[in-house]
Amino acid sequence: MLAVNELFETIQGEGVFTGVAAIFLRLQGCPVGCPWCDTQHTWDKNNQAQVKPEQLIMKTGDSPSWAGMSEQAVLELIEQQGFTAKHVVITGGEPCMYDLNALTELLHETGYQTQIETSGTFEIKTSAQTWVTVSPKLDMPGGYEVRADAMARANEIKHPIAMQKHIDALDALLERCPVAAGTTICLQPISQRPRATELAIETCRKRNWRLSVQLHKYLAIE
């Protein structure tokens, strides 16, 4: 069973698929502990917060409530909502705490494409067709290490930065855990800070990397 925190349709605001209409499936649970995380309500999976699946759609704000759902139930809930997007983003929390093979295969069989957004600290269990975005979380309070197999599986590296030391840390990680040829590397300024944005732009120009600006935050949408 998957612990689902949220299911909604919006525009993807980050990374390679910025601007694409997307269905976001947010899963509950994450032990990584990123200090700047904007979904801290998904960290803990408390039994007292469990609700019925139909209550997820009625959410009007962030909350730690979650529903236990099978892969088929997730697909049925997507179809019941009449969403028109065909790009499903599986995020969290940390979605790779779950085996996502069955869910992603089911979604592909029914005409969807899938993307996973992960910290790279858990084994990635998903369909070979899934686009994997690794946002490597280094030296976080949870103490989890970024996995070499996660970096090797990534189609896209999306790295949040505020200072040069964050770029240096990414360089060291890429040296230690190489990515496949053709993997897109995106730099994402933390909290839209002007200096972080300037540094990201400058580095992307020099290295032919890609800028990710969290479009949804500039547009004030979910």
Binding-site residues for substrate sit at: 11-13, 26, 91
Structure tokens at 104: 């992603």
The percent helix, strand, coil of the chain (3-state, each to 5) is 35, 25, 40
* Separation CA 107–CA 114 (nearest Å): 7
CB 193 within 8 A of CB 201: no
Q: Which residues are annotated as a binding site for [4Fe-4S] cluster?
A: 30, 34, 37
Q: How far apart are CA 45 and CA 42, in angstroms?
A: 7
- The candidate with the shortest Cα–Cα distance to 67, out of 53, 78, 81, 46, is 53
CB 179 within 8 A of CB 205: no
Contact 146, 159 (CB under 8 A): no
Cross-strand partners of 8 = 24
Q: Indicate the annotated binding residues for Mg(2+).
A: 39
Q: Which residue numbers belong to the known binding site?
A: 11-13, 26, 30, 34, 36-39, 91, 93, 135-137
Which residue's structure tokens are 């949040």? 160
Using CA atoms, how far apart are residues 159 and 170, in angstroms rounded to an integer? 8
Looking at 19-97, which runs of residues are DSSP E strands? Answer: 21-27, 67-69, 87-91
